[in-house]
Structure 1
Amino acid sequence: MLSPFRKLKAGMGSRSPSPSPSAQSTQAQSPAPTAGFPALEITRQICVLVSNLGSGALNVPGLQAAGQIGCQIIDIIQNMKDNEDACSSLIDRMNTLMNLVAEALPPDGASIDSLHIKADLKKDAEKLKQSLGKVHEILQELTSRSRIKKLLGSAGVAGEVTKCKELIDREIEAFKDSLRVGLESIITGQSSLTLKIDGLLPRDPPVPPKIFCGRDELVSELANLCCSGEQQNIAILGAGGLGKTSTALHVLHQIDVVKWYGKRTFFVGCDGVTTVDALALRILQIMQASTPSGENPVDALRSVLIDSSYTLLLLDNFESIWDFQRDHEAARGILQTISSVTATSLIITMRAANPPPGVQWTWHSTLSILSPEAARNVFLTINPMFCCGSSSGDEILSELLREVDYVPLAIHLLAQVSLDLTPQSTLRQWQKKKTQMLTLDQFTADRLESVEVSIALSINSLDTSGNSEAIQLLGMLCLLPDGLLQWQERLELIEERFDTA
């Protein structure tokens, strides 16, 4: 059976003569192979191919520009020799994205017969060009010496690289989803189209982490709500690293929840999703549902949920789609659509202090930090030999846990990086490096492997253009050793100087 990508190719038309020499002269030129950088060179060749296809018979200027910008990004990465490890994952993502784009296009010299498909391609190509342009801009700033001095060491580099990875990931998901929608216009003679690309997304919820302390009562409370027989809309909120996803997964796997919903519990990661239609398609795919050709994905999702028995749907990291667009009407609308089906209960996790409006939330709360006892249990489960029975080791551990504010992610990372260190050495390292110490890899861009990357993601989600003083205010507050005492009472004083506080 033909893959979806090959079906898309088959519907786009047959081969036609190659572009004339005059047309070829405007195409991207492929430089000599880059010695020692095979991945870079392969990705560069794909970018050249995409650019040439866009400037040839397809005549899609946005596609041509996207390929050219991709080549420029590769040039920058090649010259960032001090940050090769930090950018290696960017190369992989660029390769994945441009491969996907090239695979979806007809061969060099072919044309697109359908005006509808060509219009969609132009729209997607323009978005692709804009996103790659942002990546190019970030990397250019990153290579500037003056810019480097302003970044906070490796954390600044990781935060900037994370921005680039998120932009590329969003384009990967957007292009996949646009291909799925495009297939509906190409494949005829079928009453429905199964939205399934094998191996793309997991069907079953991820297994919850085994090291999980201090949240048992909360998990039981939420599980009891989900099994009450009444519809629940639950929002688990809070800053990064508090364990929102872990808590939600433990609820999904709680024995009473499993008995109540059976196979009707679904985990949907919102990372990389930029549109509501894309999110609806992702949910349908994970549910292994189908939709009639041409139907709006959100309407199709509602129809599937209406025809289903009791369903528990977890939308993880919902801030990804919420923060991507400042106009929240569409994102709010899909939540309202899901909650309008009384047999469907909804859980979202979100980096926020308040849940999205427009939904009657039956439970919402910001996760608290762990208790000192739970924090200690987490640490010693990972690093049981840290204290070695000494009173000084116990005292140092208590001090370190206070220093990281009993935040689960920070505790996990601190326990990992101190496996080969004595308590005294760990304390000295902490006093010297602080949160820069809490990373499993100096150049990681994984939010679960670095506290500073997690913090960078939260800061990046701020509307700094509309709240220009937000970073300045946060920078001042972070200098206070214990935060701002009685901040709610002092907020009025802050607002006198910072209008957007």
Structure 2
Amino acid sequence: MSTATSNTIASPSTEETGMKRQYALQAARLTLTAMANITDGLQIPFLKAAPQTLNQIITLADSVKTNKDACGQLAKQATDLIQAIAQASVGKTVQMDERLQDDVEDLRKTLESIREYMSKMTSRKTWKRVLASSEDTAAIAEFRNKLAHAVVVFQIKDQISARISQHAVTQDILQKVTNIHDHLTTSAAGNPPYQSEFLFTPPAYPECFYGRDEFVATAVDLILTHSPAKLAILGPGGVGKTTVAAAIFNNSSIEDKFGEHRAFVSCEPLSTTESLLETLCKAFDVSVQNGKLHTALMSFLKLLPDTLLVLDNLETLWDSDDESDNVQTLLRNLSSLAVLTIIITMRGILPPKGVLWTQPALSVLPVVSVDAAKSIYQAISPTDDDMVLETLLCNVDCLPLAVTLLANLGQCGLSPKELQDRWEKEQSKLINLGGKKKSESLDVSISLSINSPLLKHNEDAFSLLRMISFLPAGIPVLYLSEIASHIESITEAQIVLFRTGLAYLTASKRLTVLSPIKLYITSNYEITANEIIDIQKFYFDLA
């Protein structure tokens, strides 16, 4: 009886595949080592910098969890290509024409794309790796085709010497090559796009968190019962909006609902809507084709299950003259997605227009209670001087940032009594840990609102702010037009102060500012004669 013969071809074992990858990577490393001795003496900045990029590609190829063999081969192919170009360039005095300049730029972009894509592959969570496996295979194949095309473009084996002239480099071409070199070495050194990872690194649950339980519970309930919720956490600078957003983001009920489908993006360092789109694509691990960031992001998000997105410090882009329309369009489009719950934090008391925010809306985030402020201070810098501590904290209106910075000063050996004495002399300048970041200086935090584009372009708003700060109890809204009679657009001025978070309405309908802001304004900006005349005229008429 004959035995049936199988026509199935046996697949390589996992061990064999792993050995192939290791051989490829080891060969790439050896090539890279040899290349370093060549590129150091070359006159082409791109080739001098390329080994750094190749080293990163090799390291990433050794770290990926899927398509390991293909990534190893891709790393070796890229290394072999650059070595061939480097060897063909030895002993040449470089003059690069426009065409060669473009070819070098294309190659640089290809290397950066490979590095960025492998970096994305290594950071994916398990479920995303499974979903993206076939997509990764196609992307790697495309990269290999681009590198193969580069061999043809440069005609490495026979004609590269003919493309590199013996004449001196003109200043214009040299500058172009230097720009490529600077761009490559800047990225290789760890600057953007790699720094941007910190823009979407999820924050931990805040360690020192008091007086916000009710606010967080309300927000969580709205998210769970009004899907997809659209929530705006608003308030003045330093009130703890980011901290509250982090607490909501890490709430156990929120984790249960969204799982890994949560992203927390800081808008503070961003300057354009395009940079926000790039960051969102990286946060959600979105593959972008032909540079169409918005299309790729929206298409990807539509396919996800329920997802949470936090946009922190959105005012940075929202208040920008050049970007507000683009940000509004993006925010409106994101809010239209049936699967996306959105939380934004921003200074001010007015949420961005163009979005139907979930009702009942969250209240503007207030300062914490005296007891909560004491708890914050005691957690950082324990003290028995409870009576003076309460006076000190009330002097700063229990603004969380001010409380935290005072407690950090307490860690330096200053008692509440000593801090109170210094507060009376230095006022808001006291609350500074010696840094220039808003988290280290109350004045820096306040100045961000003072210097916002909204206030810079509205002198009436700044005039109203000076008047409010000058009057101990602020200005009754009922008499606002009479007291500030020199201001023609009084409503617009009031709205600007609301949007920047510099002023607010009390329960008794008085327009006022927090104590630290009042002291900052009166210490740094002198009230004008016209403003004094308006105030005197109103109160003299009342008398």
Q: Is 1:203–1:287's contact at 8 Å kept on the other side of the alignment?
A: no
Q: Distance in 2 between matches of 1:207 and 1:18?
A: 58
Q: Is 2:266–2:311's contact at 8 Å kept on the other side of the alignment?
A: yes
Q: Is 1:261–1:310's contact at 8 Å kept on the other side of the alignment?
A: yes
Aligned residues: CA RMSD: 3.2
Match of 2:470, SS state, is coil
The answer for the alignment partner of 1:440 in structure 2 is 433
Q: Is 1:438–1:451's contact at 8 Å kept on the other side of the alignment?
A: yes
How far is the alpha carbon of 1:474 from its aligned partner?
Answer: 2.5
How far is the alpha carbon of 1:464 from its aligned partner?
Answer: 4.3
Match of 1:292, SS state, is coil
Structure 1, unaligned runs of 5 or more: 25-54, 65-97, 106-171, 177-196
1:450 and 2:441 matched? yes
Q: Distance in 1 between matches of 2:282 and 2:105?
A: 19
Q: Alpha carbons of 1:59 and 1:438: their partners in 2 closer, same or farther (altered >3 Å)?
A: same
How far is the alpha carbon of 1:273 from its aligned partner?
Answer: 1.5
How far is the alpha carbon of 1:261 from its aligned partner?
Answer: 0.4
**C-alpha distance after superposition, 1:369-401 (max 9, x if no partner):** 11111112111221212xx2xxxx332112111
Q: 2:344 aligns with which of 319, 332, 348?
A: 348
Q: 1:314 aligns with which of 290, 310, 317?
A: 310
Q: Is 1:266–1:314's contact at 8 Å kept on the other side of the alignment?
A: yes
* TM-score, normalised by the number of residues in structure 2: 0.56
How far is the alpha carbon of 1:18 from its aligned partner?
Answer: 9.1
Q: More relative contact order in 1 or in 2 (CA 8 Å, sep 6+)?
A: 1
Q: Alpha carbons of 1:104 and 1:220: their partners in 2 closer, same or farther (altered >3 Å)?
A: closer
How far is the alpha carbon of 1:304 from its aligned partner?
Answer: 1.0
1:399 alignment partner AA = T
Q: Is 1:439–1:451's contact at 8 Å kept on the other side of the alignment?
A: yes
User: Structure 2 matches for 1:215-234, cutoff 5 A?
Assistant: 215-228=212-225, 230-234=227-231
> How many pairs does the alignment contain?
337
1:430 and 2:428 matched? no
2:425 alignment partner AA = K
Match of 2:225, SS state, is coil
Which structure dedicates a bigger proportion of its chain to helix? 2
1:293 and 2:390 matched? no
Q: Is 1:380–1:415's contact at 8 Å kept on the other side of the alignment?
A: yes
Q: Is 2:389–2:417's contact at 8 Å kept on the other side of the alignment?
A: no
Q: Is 1:201–1:286's contact at 8 Å kept on the other side of the alignment?
A: no
Q: Is 2:234–2:351's contact at 8 Å kept on the other side of the alignment?
A: yes
Question: Bigger shift: 455-464 or 249-258?
Answer: 455-464
Q: Alpha carbons of 1:244 and 1:301: their partners in 2 closer, same or farther (altered >3 Å)?
A: same
**C-alpha distance after superposition, 1:251-283 (max 9, x if no partner):** 011111001100011100112222222211101
Q: Is 2:200–2:283's contact at 8 Å kept on the other side of the alignment?
A: yes
How far is the alpha carbon of 1:298 from its aligned partner?
Answer: 1.6
Q: Is 2:239–2:401's contact at 8 Å kept on the other side of the alignment?
A: yes
Q: Is 1:267–1:316's contact at 8 Å kept on the other side of the alignment?
A: yes
Q: 2:320 aligns with which of 324, 330, 333?
A: 324
Match of 2:382, SS state, is coil
The answer for the alignment partner of 1:47 in structure 2 is none
Q: 1:490 aligns with which of 457, 476, 479?
A: 479
The answer for the alignment partner of 2:50 in structure 1 is none
The answer for the alignment partner of 2:399 in structure 1 is 407
Q: Is 2:402–2:442's contact at 8 Å kept on the other side of the alignment?
A: yes
- Percent identical among aligned pairs is 31
Q: Distance in 2 between matches of 1:104 and 1:376?
A: 45
Q: Distance in 1 between matches of 2:277 and 2:196?
A: 18
Q: Is 1:316–1:349's contact at 8 Å kept on the other side of the alignment?
A: yes
Structure 2, unaligned runs of 5 or more: 1-52, 58-77, 83-103, 110-152, 155-162, 494-543
Q: Between Structure 1 and Structure 2, whose CA radius of gyration is higher?
A: 2
The answer for the alignment partner of 1:384 in structure 2 is 382
User: Structure 2 matches for 1:97-496, cutoff 5 A?
Assistant: 100=183, 103=186, 176=193, 197=194, 200-201=197-198, 204-228=201-225, 230-295=227-292, 297-326=293-322, 328-362=324-358, 363-385=361-383, 388=384, 393-419=385-411, 420-441=413-434, 444-481=435-472, 483-486=473-476, 488-496=477-485
How far is the alpha carbon of 1:449 from its aligned partner?
Answer: 0.8
How far is the alpha carbon of 1:287 from its aligned partner?
Answer: 1.4
